[in-house]
């Protein structure tokens, strides 16, 4: 749909995308015009304990439970057993979801081996999936592994947890930029909407490049507020999608993440950020 605003003799064209990917996270979709744009890639940045993995798993789980959208979880850091436990937290059984073709796990975490010449060899972990084989740890091989999985199931949602090993792997920032852009384009071309998690507790030029290439950036923060700790969310960027600029507090319970839209931080109180900035 295209809306023309003819006020003050200025024509403003706004392209409204009708296809939405609803995260189902309580209070979040209202901040971004009802959901993510289909096929977009969103970078979720946060330090330890901010709720990144819970946010990501809710995105995948809600797609399965409420919208019949199959999900793929690409692991570069967390282990499958961690995911299994967290899914149990939501009352879901990992093996049942896999058997029903509603969810699949792709473990492409790096395995580092010290060579006889003193150099390090980095390979993709292959114990969990015979499709992967013996591959070097790099973005192109991960793209190949994702599309091998996709031959079995048409995934609508993808969660990548976490980007940090790839950020640290590439010494050449130009090479990282070209290959990360290739990853984003391949996900978009395959009609997959991706949520990419990463830490922000280190300075890294590749992370700054990634924030420019993705369609959206969300930052989660854990801070000390008076005598307690608080979590809050900032939407830094959402291309082609209107979004709330205000900082939003959120809570994590047995129901997952909930945006606390009615609570505000007093400017008279000092806030000590507990995770480091990029």
Average pLDDT per block of 10 residues along the chain, 278 residues long: 39 50 96 96 96 96 96 90 88 93 93 74 67 78 94 94 94 97 97 96 87 97 88 94 90 92 56 47
pLDDT tens digit sequence for 23-46? 999 999 999 999 999 999 999 999
Residue 14 lies in a domain: no
The phi-psi region of residue 34 (left if phi > 0; otherwise alpha if psi is between -120 and 50; otherwise beta) is left
Residue 145 lies in a domain: yes
- Beta strand 2-5 with 71-75: parallel, antiparallel or unpaired? unpaired
DSSP assignment of 188-247:
HHTT-EEEEEE--SS--HHHHHHHHHSSEEEEEEEEEETTEEEEEEEEEEETTS----S-
Closest by alpha carbon to 36, among 220, 212, 211, 238?
238
Residue 12 lies in a domain: no
Residue 191 lies in a domain: yes
Residue 63 lies in a domain: yes
**How many residues comprise the chain?**
278
Domain that holds residue 162: 19-273
Q: Give the number of domains in the chain.
A: 1
**For residue 201, what pLDDT is reported?**
64
CATH number at residue 173: 3.40.50.300
pLDDT tens digit sequence for 134-161? 788 999 999 999 999 999 899 999 999 9
**For residue 2, what pLDDT is reported?**
39
**For residue 16, what pLDDT is reported?**
44
């Amino acid at each position: 749909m295209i809306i023309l605003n003819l006020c003050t003799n200025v024509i403003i064209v706004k392209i409204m995308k009708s296809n939405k990917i609803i995260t189902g996270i309580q209070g979040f979709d209202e901040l971004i015009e009802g959901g993510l744009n289909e096929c977009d890639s969103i970078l979720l940045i946060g330090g330890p304990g901010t709720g990144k993995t819970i946010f990501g798993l809710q995105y995948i789980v809600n797609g399965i439970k409420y919208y019949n959208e199959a999900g793929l979880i690409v692991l570069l850091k967390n282990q499958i057993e961690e995911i299994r436990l967290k899914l149990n937290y939501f009352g879901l059984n990992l093996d049942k979801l896999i058997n029903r073709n509603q969810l699949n796990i792709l473990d492409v975490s790096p395995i580092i081996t010290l060579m006889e010449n003193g150099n390090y060899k980095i390979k993709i972990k292959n114990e969990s999936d015979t499709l992967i084989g013996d591959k070097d740890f790099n973005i192109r091989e991960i793209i190949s592994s994702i599309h091998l999985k996709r031959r079995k199931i048409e995934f609508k949602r993808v969660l990548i947890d976490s980007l940090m090993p790839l950020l640290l792997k590439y010494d050449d920032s130009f090479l990282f930029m070209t290959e990360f852009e290739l990853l984003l384009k391949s996900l978009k071309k395959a009609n997959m909407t991706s949520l990419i998690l990463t830490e922000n507790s280190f300075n890294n030029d590749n992370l700054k490049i990634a924030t420019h290439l993705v369609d959206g950036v969300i930052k989660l923060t854990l801070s000390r507020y008076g005598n307690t700790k608080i979590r809050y969310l900032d939407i830094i960027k959402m291309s082609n999608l209107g979004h709330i600029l205000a900082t939003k507090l959120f809570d994590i319970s047995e129901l997952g993440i909930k945006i606390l839209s009615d609570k505000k931080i007093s400017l008279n109180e000092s806030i000590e950020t507990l995770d480091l900035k990029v």
